[in-house]
Structure 1
């Protein structure tokens, strides 16, 4: 193994750690915002505004955990995408159950679960097209 291969392997290892920490921190932030009380803050009077937050949160969760799973071992997109979607899906359900059972200022909402799934599905669609585009650009470079 030459110097550049070792350096590339070390750099990839550092990127994996950064991605893992980003995913963990994002998930922790989402957990906080989903379980904390915000009654003291001014209320936004746009109907279903919180659903946009759920979509954004779960888009980020799915995207970041896809990157973590993608670069973990096998570098297989399909498996990583499925794992990231399932993680976001079950995490979203778990948070809604926790809101209902363990908080006094929050309640579980089935429509929040649908908003979570919408964010996850948007991330899956974006990642799918991103993968497809990157494959096409690689094919063009090989000709």
Structure 2
């Protein structure tokens, strides 16, 4: 059964899904803000940032977990969290330095951090009640 399970979800699958999500984040964070439809809900952009980084951290966790073939979840969890934080900060720096219509925002970094922390909490919660070590 374990061989069948491993064949169903190869390492490349996790990589391409995580990389695709990363590309989606880059696209939406670097396009002209006027190209994004305006919705006037207070702090909606921060909720979107948190959601993006919740998914980002989760997807990279599953990739690192599969890639490292780790017996515990802690190393892949730390790697995905750190990658998420550094990537989020890098995007904000790139917005400031290389775009004319976007500016980096400290509160976007905070929202990214909250999304990453929420992903870590959810992963730890599910690990406690299921066995993610078998993923």
* Same fold per superposition (TM over 0.5): yes
Tell me the residue number matched to 2:25.
30
1:114 pairs with 107, 110, 116, which one?
Answer: 110
SS of the residue 1:106 aligns to = coil
Deviation at 1:42, TM superposition (A): 3.9
Deviation at 1:69, TM superposition (A): 0.4
SS of the residue 2:79 aligns to = helix
**Runs (5+) with no aligned partner, structure 1:** 139-143
Normalised by the size of structure 1, how large is the TM-score?
A: 0.84
Greater alpha carbon shift after TM alignment, 112-121 vs 41-50? 41-50
- Segments of 4+ moved more than 3 angstroms: 7-10
Tell me the residue number matched to 1:141.
none
Q: Which has the larger radius of gyration?
A: 1
1:125 pairs with 106, 110, 121, which one?
Answer: 121
Contact 2:33 2:102 in 1 (8 A): no
Shift of the 9–127 alpha-carbon distance from structure 1 to 2, 3 Å rule, reads: closer
SS of the residue 2:28 aligns to = helix
Q: CA separation in 1, counterparts of 2:35 and 2:100?
A: 14
**Runs (5+) with no aligned partner, structure 2:** none
Alignment of 1:19 onto 2:19: no
Q: CA separation in 2, counterparts of 1:40 and 1:8?
A: 45
